[in-house]
Amino acid sequence: MGAYILRRLLLIIPTLLGIMVINFVLVQFVPGGPVEQIIAEMQGEGDVFGAFAGGAEDSTLQQSQGEGYMGARGLPQEFIDELNAQYGLDKPPLERFINMMWNYMRFDFGESYFRSISVTDLVLEKMPVSITLGLWSTLIAYLVSIPLGIRKAVRDGSRFDSWTSGIIIAAYAIPGFLFAVMLVVLFAGGSYWQIFPLRGLTSDNFADLSLFGKIVDYLWHITLPVLATTIASFATLTLLTKNSFLDEIKKHYVMTARAKGLSERKVLYGHVFRNAMLIVIAGFPAVFIGVFFGSSLLIETIFSLDGLGRLGFEAALSRDYPVMFGTLFLLGLVGLLVNIVSDLCYVLVDPRIDFETREG
Ranking 21-30, 198-207, 282-291 by mean pLDDT, the lowest is 282-291
More confidently predicted of 48 and 154: 154
Q: How far is CA 179 from CA 26, 143, 163, 176, in A?
A: 34, 21, 20, 5
Structure confidence at residue 350 (pLDDT): 66
Structure confidence at residue 290 (pLDDT): 65
My answer on whether 151 and 295 are in the same domain is yes
Indicate which CATH number applies to the domain containing 149: 1.10.3720.10
pTM: 0.72
My answer on whether 51 and 188 are in the same domain is no
User: Has residue 217 got a pLDDT over 50?
Assistant: yes
Q: How far is 215 from 346, CA to CA, in rounded Å?
A: 35
My answer on whether 184 and 68 are in the same domain is no
CA 78 remoteness from chain centre: 41
Task: Report residue 292's pLDDT band, with 50, 70 and 90 as the boundaries.
Answer: low
Q: How far is CA 140 from CA 153, 218, 223, 230, in A?
A: 20, 16, 11, 8
With respect to residue 185, please indicate whether it lies within any of the assigned structural domains.
yes
My answer on whether 196 and 345 are in the same domain is yes
Q: How far is 302 from 295, CA to CA, in rounded Å?
A: 13
With respect to residue 155, please indicate whether it lies within any of the assigned structural domains.
yes
Q: How wide is the angle at C-alpha 130 spanned by C-alphas 298 and 345, nearest 5°?
A: 120
Q: In terms of C-beta density within 10 A (0-12 exposed, 13-18 middle, 19 or more buried), how is residue 234 classed?
A: buried
With respect to residue 97, please indicate whether it lies within any of the assigned structural domains.
no
The H or E element that residue 89 is part of is: none
Task: Report residue 43's pLDDT band, with 50, 70 and 90 as the boundaries.
Answer: low
With respect to residue 14, please indicate whether it lies within any of the assigned structural domains.
no
The predicted-structure confidence for 108-140, as pLDDT tens digits, reads as follows: 888 888 887 888 888 888 888 888 888 888 888
My answer on whether 205 and 349 are in the same domain is yes
User: Has residue 67 got a pLDDT over 60?
Assistant: no
- Dihedral sign, Cα of residue 277, residue 278, residue 279, residue 282: positive
My answer on whether 70 and 136 are in the same domain is no
Structure confidence at residue 335 (pLDDT): 80
Structure confidence at residue 77 (pLDDT): 74
Task: Report residue 61's pLDDT band, with 50, 70 and 90 as the boundaries.
Answer: very low
- Dihedral sign, Cα of residue 269, residue 271, residue 273, residue 274: positive
With respect to residue 117, please indicate whether it lies within any of the assigned structural domains.
no
Structure confidence at residue 17 (pLDDT): 92
Average pLDDT, integer, range 313-331: 85
Percent of the chain with pLDDT over 90: 3
The predicted-structure confidence for 79-90, as pLDDT tens digits, reads as follows: 777 777 777 777
Number of domains in the chain: 2
Confirm if 245 and 150 have CB atoms less than 8 A apart.
yes
My answer on whether 292 and 146 are in the same domain is yes
Task: Report residue 353's pLDDT band, with 50, 70 and 90 as the boundaries.
Answer: low
Q: How far is 216 from 194, CA to CA, in rounded Å?
A: 17
Task: Report residue 346's pLDDT band, with 50, 70 and 90 as the boundaries.
Answer: confident
User: Has residue 313 got a pLDDT over 60?
Assistant: yes
Structure confidence at residue 15 (pLDDT): 92
My answer on whether 261 and 317 are in the same domain is yes
Task: Report residue 310's pLDDT band, with 50, 70 and 90 as the boundaries.
Answer: confident
Check residue 111 and report its DSSP letter: B
My answer on whether 165 and 272 are in the same domain is yes
More confidently predicted of 39 and 214: 214
- Residue 342's domain comprises 122-359
Average pLDDT, integer, range 36-58: 55
Task: Report residue 355's pLDDT band, with 50, 70 and 90 as the boundaries.
Answer: low
Closest CA to 23 of 346, 312, 353, 347: 312
Average pLDDT, integer, range 196-204: 81
Check residue 73 and report its DSSP letter: T
Percent of the chain with pLDDT over 70: 81
Question: What number of residues does the chain have?
Answer: 360
Structure confidence at residue 190 (pLDDT): 65
Q: How far is 176 from 171, CA to CA, in rounded Å?
A: 9
Q: How far is CA 96 from CA 115, 270, 332, in A?
A: 21, 58, 20
With respect to residue 2, please indicate whether it lies within any of the assigned structural domains.
no
Structure confidence at residue 228 (pLDDT): 85
Average pLDDT score over the chain? 78
My answer on whether 65 and 184 are in the same domain is no
Task: Report residue 54's pLDDT band, with 50, 70 and 90 as the boundaries.
Answer: very low
With respect to residue 303, please indicate whether it lies within any of the assigned structural domains.
yes
Q: H helices of 155-210, where?
A: 159-173, 176-187
User: Has residue 356 got a pLDDT over 70?
Assistant: no
With respect to residue 103, please indicate whether it lies within any of the assigned structural domains.
no
Ranking 73-87, 129-143, 214-228 by mean pLDDT, the lowest is 73-87
Q: How far is 217 from 323, CA to CA, in rounded Å?
A: 32
